[in-house]
Structure 1
Amino acid sequence: MKRCWDPDPKNRPNVNETCDLIELFHKSYTTEYSKSPEIKQQFEEVEKHRKSNLPTKSQIKKIRKLKKQKEVPEQHEEENSTSNKNDENDENDEYDENDQSDTHPQAIYTSRILNNSVISEGLDMAI
């Protein structure tokens, strides 16, 4: 997994290497899974944990409602703003790399923000 995310494309695995690794993982999983109930239990626990962290439908509706409410005032602000916006020294107009909650207005797809602890745990997992 770490190799796939390497900043240098030359260090990333090619399609054949990736397919071979997936096939190796699948074979080891199916072989070990059928032999060991402990591995089956681990997968079930991880899946239960994953499902418990998914947002509920009501939470998703609340988030969408809040986003719509946020968009309406922003549209009014744009209509009422002065033409000389460059002279304003407003920190909110600057791009904040740490703020991942904003979605680009021309974005077609959006995804949920990943929990960094889950990512680092997954990268350290040995196959």
Structure 2
Amino acid sequence: MPNFGKMVFYLTLALQHLQTRSVYPENADLPSPKATGPQFDCSICMEKQPLGDSIECGCGHLFCVDCMGGYLSNAIREGNVEDIKCPDKDCQTVAQQFLVSYIVSDELYARYEWLLLVAGVKDMPDVVSV
């Protein structure tokens, strides 16, 4: 099954690369990406970030990719994978599985899937645990 989140990410990077190359000569000093273009305030690190470095849980709250990656990775390492909520304290939106697969390492994503499976089996009344 194709990973559409990663495909969109790589297509966006390719488009940004093509746009940069067409505007700036090969040896020109490029402006800092944080100094140009639309920005947003990440409510985790409280810093202005380029809008292109944002991610959201499906609820509209934007976070920088680094902060969201840390948030999701920490939840998975601690085993808290059932209903990982948006980091916004007032939001109850659950982070979608494709978002988790897009952000965290393959190793952590495998742990995430395993923990979800274990939690699902544990809730099945006709399955005997060993």
| TM-score normalised to structure 2 length | 0.26
Give the number of the structure with larger relative contact order, counting CA–CA contacts within 8 Å between residues 6 or more apart: 1
| TM-score normalised to structure 1 length | 0.26
Q: Structure 1 or 2: larger strand share?
A: 2
Greater Rg, structure 1 or structure 2? Answer: 1
